[in-house]
Homo-oligomer: A and B are copies of this chain.
């Protein structure tokens, strides 16, 4: 492996060539020689059309494997560009939960075209999953699971497993489920117990009865907590009538959690349109970033207009212009820390929107200490620079008060947004900086106006 890696420093060049030459064999052997990370990197570097062509050059099963390896943000674009019958062949090879994710992220008419080309049974399964909220147990579950009637004997189960070994080997499932005559969940069968019991025994006698199950509308956070509590590989999902409809794997919930954490990271960084990859078209990348920046520049102009109101003071004490960006930036930093703590505590379920008062109290204490420390620091800098104690008092007091405001607001804003079902990661930052900028500018320039006689 190392030899090949050293040989092919940029594996996308030969990959692109093989694709352009319709050399399916070359593509397959090249991809097989690469580890997953290099394969993903090589596919990332291809042109959009080459990526789509790659999917049609290889067998649908391998194409599905490749889709599993590359970032999800690319998968939808690729499927989007394929002919519906090609896309259907590949999607049929994906696990049911991924099928539903991809189809759900396509335009409805495109998803419908692909569903029309899929095997009717698979299409029906995908439609079922599409009906659920993608962050619920119904949306995260897979429909590949083993279920046996409660009247079956150990022998029947073992024979069935032997006969279908091929099919079942694709199932990421470690348990079999037992259902009653109404297709309702009756018990869970551990493979271990099949092993330790005589062949003639009825599964109803050896199953674990009253099994824990999750309701199809259980949220992703609740599922994460469920799997924290119970170290299961998966849990059966039931509908309102207790019918067994699927199985949600701890692995899939964990993956959804990683995505949610990454999503928060992107949103606080000002990327509101989801994952951006540099292989995406320039227009998409630029527009997604601009949509956020253009809101922000509006808010910025609004906040800075406060400065214009104090033109006279500024003209008299030009040194204040140096401190305005410092106070704006430092308040933003102090507030962002509090925002991050609130978002994390909300995610961990340690704080709820109703806890406003407790959060305010806790942040007020930190705000007082840190405001005092930063305010004194800045006052000393101002004094040292201009030798004017009043200038120190003005900028120090402004930073102190504004830090307290920023820290309290930063703690509260995510809770209030959550209360009104808005996304804290997305909106907290701009709201915070706009308010603290306005407040900060007003404090510095207001205090300076009051102390004008001592500053000039």
A interface residues, Cβ below 8 angstroms from B: 35-37, 40-41, 44, 68-69, 71, 158, 161-162, 172, 174, 191-192, 194-196, 222, 225, 227-229, 231, 233, 250-251, 254-255, 257-258, 261-262, 264-266, 268-271, 275-279, 282, 285-286, 289-290, 292-294, 296-297, 300-301, 303-305, 307-308, 311, 314-315, 318-326, 328-330, 332-334, 336-337, 339-341, 343-345, 347-351, 358-359, 362-363, 365-366, 369-370, 373-374, 377-378, 381, 385, 433, 437, 441
Per the bound structure, the CA–CA distance linking A418 and B374 in Å amounts to: 31
Chain B hits for A344, CB < 8 A: 262, 265-266, 275-276
- Complex contact B269–A366 (CB within 8 A): no
Chain B hits for A340, CB < 8 A: 265-266, 269-271
Closest B residue to A359 by beta carbon equals B278
Per the bound structure, the CA–CA distance linking A47 and B363 in Å amounts to: 18
Of B269, B308, B341, B373, the residue contacting A290 (CB under 8 A) is: B373
- Complex contact B308–A319 (CB within 8 A): yes
A-B contact sample (12 more), CB < 8 A, given A290-B370, A329-B329:
A41-B349, A71-B348, A194-B195, A251-B251, A265-B265, A265-B340, A286-B366, A300-B329, A307-B322, A314-B321, A318-B318, A324-B325
Chain B hits for A69, CB < 8 A: 228-229
- Complex contact B319–A318 (CB within 8 A): no
Per the bound structure, the CA–CA distance linking A365 and B294 in Å amounts to: 18
Known: A321-B307, A325-B324. A286 touches B370 (CB 8 A): yes
Chain B hits for A289, CB < 8 A: 334, 337, 366, 370
